[in-house]
Amino acid sequence: MSRGARPARRTWTLAGLEALLRAGLSVLPGLDAQVRFAPRPRRPWQPEHAPGQSRTAAALVLFYPRDDRPHLVLTVRAGVLSRHGGQVSLPGGAIEPGEAIASAALREAAEEIGIDPSIVRVLGPLTPLHIPVSDFLVHPIVGVMDCTPMFTHASTEVARVLEVPFEDLLDPARVQVTTRLRGDLIVDAPYFDLEGEQVWGATAMMLAELIWVVGEQASLPPPPG
């Protein structure tokens, strides 16, 4: 390789990604990774700590094969929803009383995008993330399935299903910054440009930790100064 040449782009397989996830989920970076996609200036709160009255929710970070490459599924929330309508999110929702976190993530994904929970291998959790706007403490659960799903989305909750090649998450060119209005304050919001959508806020923060877990920290933007 000549001096200054870029290293060859890594070829990802679902089996290789699963192996890295199994190893990396045992030690989570938490806020160190999440903060890379936090809107700036940050709120005066720690996203891993929630008020005692916060509701709990679960989200599924689901990987599967398509065209011999690992893909991740995201959803564009229906515009009519009162919370985060039109935004990109992981499939998920509120945890019911007495329900296990992983079971809730699988149930919500089945209801929203029609996956079969029985064929998903649950690998483990990412760091919970508090969302002040809706006052939910979200528990992301990582899972893998060996077949390519046929998604059937619930139109009352999901406007569009996004199938994102995992390698796209690692492309620095897809990380951009936009401005958004939070109350009467203008903030800079880093986001992933994926499948024609801006993936920002809590979803981007959870994906940032996922990227860190598989050892691709160099793909993330630097922490805020």
pLDDT at 44: 59
Q: Which of 48, 50, 54, 49 is nearest to 31 (CA)?
A: 48
Residue stretches of the chain with pLDDT short of 70: 1-9, 43-52, 79-85, 225
**Rounded to an integer, what distance in angstroms lies between the CA atom of residue 63 and that of residue 141?**
11
The pTM is what? 0.90
Cα–Cα separations (whole angstroms), residue 82 to 52, 55, 79, 87, 139: 23, 16, 8, 11, 21
Which tokens is 219 given?
A: 């793909």
Sign of CA dihedral 207, 39, 91, 142: positive
pLDDT at 2: 42
pLDDT at 224: 81
Instruction: Enumerate the domain spans of the chain.
Output: 14-42+53-215
The DSSP 8-state label assigned to residue 128 in this structure reads -
Which tokens is 167 given?
A: 């390698």
Enter the CATH code of domain 14-42+53-215: 3.90.79.10
pLDDT at 41: 79
